[in-house]
Amino acid sequence: MNNYETIIIINSNLEEATIKSTIEKVTDLVAKHGKVESTEEWGKKKLAYPIQKQNEGYYVLINFSSNPDFIDELERVYNITDEIIKHIIVKKD
């Protein structure tokens, strides 16, 4: 098992319930395939540049550990989830 951190940016124009359910969906998926160490909701922040005509996004940081095979699946889920406008996954030392 490797340690990872991921930051997702969710469309901030969505309702709060939709944002919460998106965060829950991601954390449940990660928990099913590994162990969620922490989840930090940073809230709405201004983006450095517009993404999909959005100037703000809802930032969430998730620290977790999982097998390396799961990262491809997580990337796939991020790419097909319309609520997530940007994401990154980083392996920690």
- DSSP state at residue 68: T
Is 38 part of a structural domain of the chain?
yes
Q: Write the CA distances from 77 to 45, 70, 72, 93, integer angstroms.
A: 23, 11, 9, 24
- Whole domain around residue 15: which residue ranges? 2-86
Is 7 part of a structural domain of the chain?
yes
Sequence length of the chain is 93
Q: pLDDT at position 23, please?
A: 93
- DSSP state at residue 4: E
Q: pLDDT at position 47, please?
A: 93
Q: In what order do the strands lie in the sheet with 84-91?
A: 34-51, 54-66, 2-11, 84-91
* CATH code for position 24: 3.30.70.60
Tell me how many domains the chain contains.
Answer: 1
- Has residue 93 got a pLDDT over 90? no
Cα 10 from chain centroid? 8
Is 22 part of a structural domain of the chain?
yes
Q: pLDDT at position 52, please?
A: 86
84 bridge partner residues: 10
pTM over 0.85: yes
Q: Report d(CA 56, CA 74) in Å as an integer.
A: 23
Is 8 part of a structural domain of the chain?
yes
The tens digit of pLDDT for each residue in 39-85 reads: 999 999 999 999 988 899 999 999 999 999 999 999 999 999 999 99
Q: Which amino acid is located at 54 in the chain? A: Q
Is 80 part of a structural domain of the chain?
yes
The tens digit of pLDDT for each residue in 4-36 reads: 999 999 998 999 999 999 999 999 999 999 999
